[in-house]
Structure formats: structure tokens, C-alpha cells
Amino acid sequence: MDFNLTEEHLMIRDAARDFARTELLPGVIERDDKQQFPQELVKKMGDLGFMGIMVDPKYGGSGMDAISYVLIMEELSKIDASASVMVSVNNSLVCYGLEAFGTEEQKQKYLTKLATGEQIGAFCLSEPEAGSDATSQRTTAIDMGDHYVINGTKNWITNGGRSDVYLVIAQTDREKGHRGINAFIVEKGMEGFDIGPKEDKLGIRGSDTHTLQFNDVKVPKENRIGEDGFGFKFAMKTLSGGRIGIAAQALGIASGAYELALKYSKERKAFGTEICNHQAIAFKLADMYTEIEAARMLVMKAAWDKDQGNNYDMSSAMAKLYASKVAMEQTVEAVQIHGGNGFVKEYHVERLMRDAKITQIYEGTSEIQKIVISRGVIKG
Ligand code: COS
């Protein structure tokens, strides 16, 4: 067992750290305030290889491993979780879904552009009445022979307005239950595909979240991913990897807040000394550091499982469950250490606290992760 990162991993981490500090940090408060999507930064992240981190270079990707992916996600998320969720969805839901389960034609047509950041993608599973209960899809995709016709509504779709490519989950044969669900590649601009207004959110406000409407959208048969009825398993398998990305995002939010709190505690004086010298603050820092290191171990273990070809359904669920809890609890502590300044935007920790909450909700709530973990534990 070796807990050290390789030279290459350290270089990747440093490149992401550098990018986050020089490119994401300026303007992050304004983007959060005005709900601005960092469009110009997508190209820069594409140039650095961050949009197709694990994709094979023959499809335009960077060919890196999952450990590199979580290192990049952590560094971006320390500064800007709105930018990092866009990276996470594009990498682990859209690019991975296409690379693992798409046809060669689908990869050539879509993946090559998504992996370079020339285009970005969205993953459309959630509906007004089907979030956690993902088998209850109301969106339908009726088989018309050479094409499908999609009707329905998708909710809370990350990259919803900005994407070029949408992976859409829909029910083809209701009688077959989850075995009658399919996944489709839908392109922006297809007739009948409408993008609703942007959501006004508590956190990750720079990310682009929309409701999508499908009214008799004709999708060619070659845009179905996998065999007929593979859609639910496609969503589950893809989300397992997505949860590693969100776990790394939560880790980054927590460690970003911790680093700010540590720095502040060494500068701010009260009762004649820096506040880190007061045990009330020192013990908070000790707890924060310990919890974040424990979350890091779980996140790294999940990424390692993926790199080794092990099943990572449980390790990704555990990483997400724990890292998101740590993110929520420790960002609150970071605000507390900052006192009144923690409540003010320019100190960044209030944004990290707001951003943390979604990591306990999207790509499977904490309660869903407990279902996955408990079933695995009981099955043995
Ligand atoms: N990989 C492959 N197949 C999987 C799988 C996985 N990780 N998890 C479940 N499946 C398969 C099961 O094997 C089963 O197939 P068979 O009947 O052919 O054996 C099928 O999927 C249905 O599984 P299950 O019976 O466990 O379904 P449930 O309705 O009980 O739901 C949970 C399972 C709760 C785990 C699932 O609905 C889920 O993950 N929900 C949350 C979805 C989510 O993350 N939503 C957020 C939206 S994306 S931002």
C-alpha cells in the first residue's frame, strides 16, 4: 500500500491548483452573485484537458486515470464549485457514458467534441416526479421503427442551457418497468426540444441549471445508447462514476473552506493573540483536518477501485455520503471561525457553505447512497 501520489499526479494536481487560483478565483464572487456561467473558462479547461480527463486520447481525451480526475476536481472545487460541477457532469456522466456504452459512430460524432471542450454535455434523468425513484420515468420514448418520439419534462439539469449534447433517459415500454427504459443522445436544436428558464439557486449559482421540455422530439434510432431496455442500467452505471466526481467536489469544497479558515485563524487576533492559539478554534481546526483527511481516503479509494477495474458502486456511494456530510459540516465551521467576516461574500466561506448543500442532494441524495451501501452490506 502506498499513500504517496506519483510525480505525475502531483504535477496534474499543481496544474489544476494553478488554474483555479489564476483563472477561476478572479470573478468567482461576481459569477455567483449574477448566476453567470463561466463560458470563456470552458475553452481554457478544454485546452488543459479537463473536459475529457479519463477519455482515450484517440477520442480527443487526456487518457488520465480516476485518481487524476479526483485531484483535478478537488482543486477546482476549492475555488469554484460551479465550474467543477460542469466539469464533473461532462466527464463522468456524459463522456464516460458515451465511451463505455456508445457505438463507434456515436463516439466519433459526439465524444470527440465533448472530450476536448469544443462542446459540453448534460445528463437528463431527474423529472418533476422521478428524482430518487429513478425507475418511475414519466418521459416517454415511443419506438416508431427508424426513430423514437420523445415526450416529457426533465428537471434540474446541470449545463441545461449551454449543452450541445443531452443524454436523455426515457420509458419506451412501461409494461417492462425499468427494463423498458432507454437512453438517447438528443442534440440541441432538435425540433420540439425546448429549454426552460434558468433556476435561481441557493448554491453553485454559476452553474447553468434548467428544466427541459420534449414535445414530439424525433430522435433517430442510431442515437439510442446500448441495447433496447439498457437505459436504466446505463444511468446506474454512469451515476456510480459520477458519484466519485461529486465526492471529490465535496472534498474540495470542505478543504477549500478549511484552508481559508486556517489562514484566517493565524491572522485574526482576539484577546491579545491570533485566534488559532485559542483552544476553541484550535480544536475546530483539528476536527476539520481529521474529517477532511478521512473523506479524502474514501474518495481516493473509490477512484482507485475504478482504476483497478474493481466494482465501485459501494465505494463511490460511501465516498459521496461521507465527503458531502463533511463538506456541509466543515463549511459551517469555517464560517464560524471567520465570525462576522464569514457572513460576508468577500471572504468566500459563505459561498462554499451554500455550495456544499447540493453535494448531499444531486447524483443521488445521501439517503439514496445509504440504500446502495446498506444493500451491499446486507448482500455481502
Ligand atoms: N449498476 C448496474 N445495474 C444496476 C445498478 C448499478 N449500479 N444499480 C441497480 N442496477 C440494476 C439492478 O440490478 C436491477 O436490474 P435487474 O432487475 O435486471 O436485476 C435494476 O437496475 C433495478 O434496480 P433496483 O431494483 O435496485 O431499483 P430500485 O428502484 O430499488 O432503485 C436505486 C435503486 C435507489 C439505487 C436507484 O433508483 C437510484 O440510484 N436512485 C437515485 C437516482 C439518482 O441518483 N438520481 C439523481 C438524478 S441524477 S443528478
Question: Could you tell me if the CB of 232 is within 6 A of ligand 1?
Answer: yes
Find cell 496544474 and name the residue. 15
188 in Cβ contact with 161 (< 8 Å): no
For residue 97, the model assigns a pLDDT of: 98
Tell me, what's the pLDDT at 331? 98
What's the mean pLDDT in 220-233? 98
Distance 266 CA to ligand 1 centre (A): 47
Across the chain, mean pLDDT equals: 97
Compute, in angstroms, the gap from residue 36 CA to the centroid of ligand 1: 34
CA atoms within 13 A on the CB side of 342: 23
CA distances from 310 to 110, 149, 305, 316 (A): 28, 37, 5, 11
Residues 6+ apart with CB under 8 A from 254: 288, 291, 292, 295, 323, 326, 327, 330, 331, 356
**Phi, psi at 186, each rounded to 5°:** -115, 135
Q: What percent of the chain has pLDDT over 70?
A: 100
Contact 138/130 with Cβ under 8 angstroms?
A: yes
Nearest CA to ligand 1 atom 35: 372
Q: Whose CA is nearest to atom 11 of ligand 1?
A: 233
Residue nearest to atom 15 of ligand 1 (CA): 233
346 classed as catalytic: no
Per-residue pLDDT tens digits for 105-163: 999 999 999 999 999 999 999 999 888 998 899 999 999 999 999 999 999 999 999 99
Instruction: Give me the numbers of helices (H) and strands (E) for the chain, helices first please.
Output: 13, 10
pLDDT of residue 44: 96
> What's the whole-number mean pLDDT along residues 33-41?
93
Q: Are strands 140-143 and 121-124 parallel, antiparallel or unpaired?
A: unpaired
Closest residue by Cα to atom 13, ligand 1, is: 233
For residue 1, is pLDDT > 90?
no
- pLDDT, tens only, 232-255: 999 999 999 999 999 999 999 999
User: Three-state SS for 124?
Assistant: strand
Closest CA to 9 of 304, 251, 359, 244: 304
Ligand 1 centroid from CA 376, angstroms: 12
- Which of the following is catalytic: 99, 127, 291, 363? 363
Atom of ligand 1 nearest to the CA of 158: 49
pLDDT at position 39 over 90: no
Q: Which residues contact 263 (CB under 8 A, 6 or more apart)?
A: none
- Tens digits of per-residue pLDDT, 182-217? 999 999 999 999 999 999 999 999 999 999 999 999
Percent of the chain exceeding pLDDT 90 equals: 97
Confidence of residue 380 (pLDDT cuts 50, 70, 90): confident
Confidence of residue 287 (pLDDT cuts 50, 70, 90): very high
Kindly state if the Cβ of 371 falls inside 6 Å of ligand 1: yes
* Residues 234 and 183 sit within 8 Å (Cβ to Cβ): yes
Separation of CA 247 and ligand 1 centre (Å):
19
Residue type, 127: E
pTM of the model as a whole: 0.98
Of 95, 108, 158, 102, the C-alpha closest to 362 is 158
Question: Which atom of ligand 1 is nearest the CA belonging to 131?
Answer: 45
Rounded distance, CA 143 to CA 39, Å? 36
The whole-number average pLDDT for the span 284-290 is 98
What is the Cα–Cα distance from 279 to 286, expressed in whole angstroms?
10
The pLDDT, as a whole number, for residue 131 is 85
Which helix (H) or strand (E) element contains residue 139? none
Residue-wise pLDDT tens digits, 71-99: 999 999 999 999 999 999 999 999 999 99
Predicted local confidence at residue 374, as pLDDT: 98
